Amino acid sequence: MNFRWLKPYMPRSLYGRAILILLLPVISLLLVISIVFIQRHFDGVTKQMTQAVSREVLLVLENGTAPDEGQGLEMARALQIAVSQLEAGETPVGNARRWYDFTGVVVIGEFTRLLPQVQAIDLPNDKVVRLFFKTQSGPVVLSFDRRRVSASNPHQLLVYMIVFGVLMTVIAYLYLRNQLRPITRLARAAEAFGRGRHVTYRPAGATEVRAAGSAFLDMRARIERQIEQRTLMLSGVSHDLRTPLTRLKLGLSMMDDEEAMFLRRDVTEMERLLDEFLAFARGAQEGEPELVDPVELVEQIVADCKRARIDARLIDAEGEGKVALRPGGMRRAIENLINNAVRYGTRAEMSVLLTEKTLRIRVEDDGPGIPEHQREEALKPFARLDPARNQDKGSGVGLGLAIAADIARVHGGMLRLAESERLGGLRADIVIAR
């Protein structure tokens, strides 16, 4: 059977699902026991008690209920049945009971079946039962204790089941929470590491959870070593290359011919590429997150672009508030997107959307864009998409989008590429969950 329609109604958290798994059997067991007990026990006991009382009522009626028929009244007193004479017209029409008196249904049904001559049955409360008959001496009502036909405190078992069911559920929840706590700590540590933060974590809990925690620590240590080695390697290479480049630049500055001008341009281009290597080597995890107004940050970047004669504009900003960001990393990601936009187009138009759940920073250009089948490849380091992007304004090393995507991932978000519907070029969205 397909139960996918239940999926939207199921809890998403581990605690919610654990509580659901815990409560479903308890509630189901309580319902089954209640139904079976009421049907098999209360119904059966009520029927037996009603049958016994009906024989006593028949015995009283057969021996007479008139005042001059002493034998019937004496027998009624011995059986603890009160007999009262009624005036004509005082006999009620139909049976009466409270709407929630479920055992009363069985009592009325049994008396109606066993005493065909009964005219009405009244069950006003839990204390008395009244049976109305029409005899030769006139209408009469027989009253006796309700406990003679119904079990006393019929709700007692249900109360016990509910109380102890709730008690056992609370105890099981406390134990279950203690077992789930190591899993939630592991999830928080993994989420923090994915966002570039290092939190203290020590494996605890059941054997399987400890094994998963130890595997996570080993994985985190290996990744940190690889990041450190990559940073050291690229920083070392970039640093060592700067020395000969500086000497070349100094030597070329003393030359005035046209050939030296082209060489100086090449050296400048090599320095720019080295800067990109260093930015990639530093990674996106530098600095600590702090509360930043994203609209203000983008406005500062746009102002810097104007001073550098870069055509970048903030055309729309919706929402107010602050988000935990690494200002340096986020600035570098946005500047990379702007540089790509003006490199392959003529201008960059930006917009900021801040909601209760997400932050979206969008950069659009009017360039040639990137085909859909190459967008995933464009986010990889050192990717060069010459057929899709023109190279009229200089070459790149293929790290701009990769650095922006890495920074977005460190902030717990992602970089999405699409076609700009307004400008026709590339649309790059940095989307971060708040």
Of 124, 148, 172, the one marking the end of a domain is 148
Instruction: Note down the domain range covering 349.
Output: 284-433
Residue 3 has a pLDDT of 63
The secondary structure of residue 270, as a DSSP letter, is H
Of 89, 120, 148, the one marking the end of a domain is 148
Residue 391 has a pLDDT of 46
Residue 51 has a pLDDT of 92
Inside any domain, residue 307: yes
Provide the token pair at 330: 């986020």
State the Rg of the chain over Cα.
43
Return all residues near 59 (Cβ < 8 A) that are at least 6 apart.
Answer: 75, 79
Return all residues near 131 (Cβ < 8 A) that are at least 6 apart.
Answer: 57, 111, 115, 118, 120, 121, 141, 142, 143
Tally of structural domains, the chain: 2
Distance (Å, whole) CA 369 – CA 383: 15
Alpha-carbon torsion 301, 306, 308, 311, what sign?
Answer: positive
**Three-state DSSP state, 169:** helix
Q: How many CB atoms lie within 10 A of CB 428?
A: 31
Enclosing H/E stretch for 135: strand 128-135
Inside any domain, residue 253: no
Residue 392 has a pLDDT of 45
Are 118 and 61 spatial neighbours (Cβ–Cβ below 8 Å)? no
Inside any domain, residue 222: no
Residue 277 has a pLDDT of 66
Inside any domain, residue 226: no
- Residue 178 identity (one-letter amino acid): N
Inside any domain, residue 55: yes
Q: What is the CATH number of the domain that holds 317?
A: 3.30.565.10
Are 140 and 86 spatial neighbours (Cβ–Cβ below 8 Å)? yes
Residue 39 has a pLDDT of 67
Residue 37 has a pLDDT of 72
What does the pLDDT profile of the chain (434 residues) look like in tens digits?
Answer: 566 776 777 777 777 777 777 778 878 887 787 777 766 667 788 888 999 999 999 988 888 777 666 677 888 888 899 998 888 788 888 899 988 887 888 899 999 999 999 999 999 988 899 999 988 888 999 999 998 988 766 567 677 778 887 888 788 888 888 888 888 888 888 887 876 677 888 888 878 888 888 998 899 888 888 877 777 776 677 667 777 777 777 776 777 666 677 677 777 777 777 776 666 666 555 567 788 898 999 999 999 888 888 888 888 888 888 888 888 888 888 988 998 888 888 889 999 999 888 899 999 998 888 888 888 888 877 666 655 444 444 455 567 788 888 888 888 788 999 888 888 889 999 998 87
Are 362 and 427 spatial neighbours (Cβ–Cβ below 8 Å)? yes
Residue 206 has a pLDDT of 79
Inside any domain, residue 381: yes
Of 148, 164, 193, the one marking the end of a domain is 148
Q: What is the CATH number of the domain that holds 113?
A: 3.30.450
Residue 332 has a pLDDT of 86
